[in-house]
Amino acid sequence: MNKGYLTRLGVFVAVALVVTVLDLGTKEWAKANLARVDHPIPILVPAELDGKTTTDLLEWAGFGDAKSSKLRLLSPPLEVKGNEEFSPFRRLSQGEEAYYLFLDKERKYPPLMVMNPSREDLVQAKGEGDRDAWRAKWSTRVTTWAQACVDSHPFLDKEEVSQWIDEGYLHPMGFGTGGLSDSRTVKASETYLLTERNIEVIPGFFQFIYAENPGAAWGMLGDAPLWVRQLALQLLTLIAMILMVVVALRMPALPGHWGAVAALAMIMGGALGNFVERIARHFVVDFIDMYVGTNHWPTYNVADIGISVGVGILLLQMLIKKSPFQEKKES
């Protein structure tokens, strides 16, 4: 194994790891600091804030830029069992449009939102003026609570979900609730959910928001069936990563080719970061939003930056120099 080969390998691995770590780290930051209604940030009221206001609570939690009107008081957990019958129609008639499922006992991390499966059909039926068909479809349809959660989030394990529901980690919610005032008094041990928090970086142009992308870069294949997305994206990503490693290591050891090695490593790092996310939850977190007025560029993440910059470097090298993938001819 020659020195040039080892050097290329070292550069490739180092750059790829930096991009992957930056990508996964910034995604975790986005999950913990950015919120929307299907990804709320839970805030447990400590004893020292008993009797204080929601404004004080947000300041204490480090979210002073958020609005009290975007807070919701977490409802008590449902007294149901995971293997019990869940009738979507009956539950929706009681105002239960969705549910929050916590995956940690302390309720410190954002819960998963489980939609009542009959709600989407109801919205469509209202638009078409045919609520009778909706009633007929859902009045007899039943499933279990655990299965309803797994249907919303296929990466979950049904047995584990059933146990979480049995232990009281499933809470009802309605989309018409919320809108708390700045002067609302909070009590110790209450849990509030912050349902919207974006961070403006450059007003009118650049902000951080929370978004989930089930497809490829820029949202491609986002509407495809789950099995299609998983087969296409994971298989293509694996093939692409293997090819990039092979190409980077077989590339001629010429001074002008180090940029190409680094570019391939950036693409590799971005692909690996998104690959890990999709394996875990069937989607990737995007949080960088650039816009002008009401026109928004597709939300993206650090992995997308790494892939785009890497491709750009390769194209630039091929435009201003010879292809980095060819041996230098002797004159």
pLDDT in tens, 289-307: 999 988 999 999 999 999 9
The answer to whether 157 is a known catalytic residue is no
The answer to whether 50 is a known catalytic residue is no
Inter-residue contact 20 to 266 (CB < 8 Å): no
User: For the chain, what percent of residues have pLDDT higher than 90?
Assistant: 50
Which residues pair with residue 114 across a beta bridge?
A: 99
> Residue 328 pLDDT more than 90?
no
Residue with tokens 């009956």: 90
Per-position b or e across 198-236, b if 16+ CB within 10 A of its CB: beeeeeeeebbbbbbbbbbbeeeeeebeeeebbeebeee
Nearest CA to 41 among 196, 250, 172, 223?
A: 196
Per DSSP, helices labelled H in the chain are 3-33, 54-61, 88-93, 117-128, 131-138, 145-152, 158-166, 226-229, 235-250, 258-281, 302-320
pLDDT in tens, 243-296: 777 766 666 554 556 788 888 889 989 988 988 888 777 788 999 999 998 899
Three-class SS of residue 42?
A: strand
What is the CA 20 to chain-centroid distance, rounded?
A: 16
Residue 111 has a pLDDT of 95
Q: Helices 145-152 and 158-166 sit at what angle, rounded to 10 degrees? A: 120
pLDDT in tens, 8-53: 778 888 999 999 999 999 999 999 999 999 999 999 999 999 999 9
Q: What is the model's pTM? A: 0.82
Residue with tokens 């049904």: 158
Catalytic residue among 104, 151, 166, 304: 304
Catalytic residue among 50, 104, 151, 286: 286
H-helix or E-strand spanning residue 208:
strand 206-213
> CB neighbours of 112 closer than 8 A, spacing ≥ 6?
100, 101, 103, 149, 152, 153, 156
Residue with tokens 């092979």: 246
Distance between CA 282 and CA 214 in Å, rounded?
A: 6
Q: Residue 159 has which token pair?
A: 């047995």
